[in-house]
Amino acid sequence: MDEQRTKTNEAREKWAKCLKVIKDNIPQASFNTWFVPIEPVKFENNVLTIQVPSQFFYEWLEEHYIDLLKKTIRKEVGPDCRLEYSIIMDNSYPFSDNITMRLPASNHKATENPDLNIPIDINADGLAREIPNPFIIPGLKKIKVQSQLIDSLSFENFIEGSCNQLARSAGYAIAQNPGKTAFNPFFIYSAVGLGKTHLAHAIGLQSKVNYPDKTILYVTAEQFQHQFTDAVRNNTANDFMNFYQMIDVLLIDDIQFLAGKQKTQDVFFHIFNHLHLKGKQIVITSDKSPVELNGIEDRLLSRFKWGLAADIQPPDFETRQAILQKKTYNEGLEIPEDVIEYIAANVTTNVRELEGALTSVVAQSALNKKAISLDLTRKIIDKFVICTTKEISMDYIQKVVCDYFNITLEQLHSKSRKRSIVQARQLAMYFAKAYTKSSMAAIGLQCGNKDHSTVLHACRTVKNLYDTDKTFKKYYTDIERKIKI
């Protein structure tokens, strides 16, 4: 015990001398972060052993401070001194609760000590000897990784709108310079079917175009979990870790699947740290924002917030219309514009159902050998699309019309013959007749004490103007869409 204490005290004395030199050569913040946590362990046989908190801590020192360490050790301890790291692996390490994995020192057998003693020879020709990362297995560095990216899910096919503008812009910026922007990690969240998986694939595809030599991988969290389980079962957990640490752009989909899976979260935590430290790009998708995720460790959630979290909202009418137009163009279909507008106006839940509705219309048209028409589309949408029908009142219709034309309810009910107000009044009467069960007399009464003949005339005028006046047709289409939403 006394001998061990003597070795430790001697190590502390020599390390204290080194720290004084190191502190004068680097910023205070860097010194506090990377050198204050180091503990001297022992000095024996001209070898100074220091303890660092983690494998990643060791790698950072190796990458950024090896020259400073080399010169300082030689100056303060002696030209023949060697430095060894002792890396204590805690019980949170992903592979087991009692860690025995270690990298033995050169020409020494591994012991039952749960440390990784990694020697650094600072004397060979005055240069530090390159120590291989214990997770990197020789021969695997150039392995060809199947990216699992789907070519059709590109930026070209990702329709941008106000609902996804931030996420799309950030994703494109990442693809231009993966790992080098402030958006790392990039956390995309949305409800199902709104395009987060599409955007993840688009980032991967564009990154692959811009950087063909980079290793890019898309994987679902479920696949990741199954791979890890198989690796543990087959005693290939090191290979699993090594494989993921080689990835340059990692796209992991539906991270919420890891909720409650402690060991898988542990291994992902270590992979995340390694990739982030090495400047590799990480893209994560989820059905909830980081603050709403349950069953995910706090240490992972805090890392998800390091970069940018961007949500994708349900698409508005214009975006839904553009999505349908793009799909018909890509598939070489000729769909009447009124059919596109009808589907876009009535299927408002998500992109997946929107495209599914269009597919249903096309399929029914082909099966029944009928042309795609608005009447056919109405039948298909009513039958195949699940939607909630809300009660449309005359008051609601009048409010929509007034808001659209920027007029007051009093103006709508007035006797004004101003063209814009007359057209607004006629549209309110028409839609009241179309979407409520009120009689013409009741509609006229609620539209400024007009009689039923005025309502009848208004309905005829609206139909006529819809067919002959493009501007009025736009009024009609816009107001109908707003009434139905």
What domains sit in the chain, N to C, each tagged with a CATH number? 2-126 (3.30.300.180), 165-311 (3.40.50.300), 317-384 (1.10.8.60), 394-484 (1.10.1750.10)
Residue matched to tokens 């994708």: 312
Confidence tier at 151 by pLDDT (50, 70, 90): confident
- 49-73 pLDDT, tens digit each: 888 877 667 777 877 788 888 888 8
Average pLDDT over residues 62-91: 79
Q: Is the pLDDT of residue 354 over 90?
A: no
Residue 135 in this model has a pLDDT that exceeds 70: no
User: Is pLDDT above 60 for 187?
Assistant: yes
How much is the average pLDDT of 101-113? 30
Q: pLDDT per residue over 159-184, tens digit each? A: 888 888 889 999 999 999 999 888 88
Greater model confidence, 114 or 82:
82
Contact 217, 250 (CB under 8 A): yes
Say what the alpha-carbon torsion angle 466, 468, 472, 473 is, to the nearest 10 degrees. Answer: 50
The pTM is what?
A: 0.52
Residue pLDDT, tens place only, 311-345: 888 888 888 888 888 888 887 888 888 888 888 88
**Residues in CB range of 94: below 8 A, 6 or more apart:** 228, 237, 241, 263, 264, 266, 267, 269, 270
The overall average pLDDT reported for the chain is 80
Residue 107 has pLDDT above 60, yes or no: no
* 94 confidence band (pLDDT: 50, 70, 90): very low
Mean pLDDT throughout 124-136?
36
pLDDT tens digit sequence for 241-278: 888 988 999 999 999 999 888 899 999 999 999 999 88
Query: Strands 308-311, 186-189: parallel, antiparallel or unpaired by DSSP?
Result: parallel
pLDDT for residue 384 is more than 90: no
- pLDDT for 360: 83
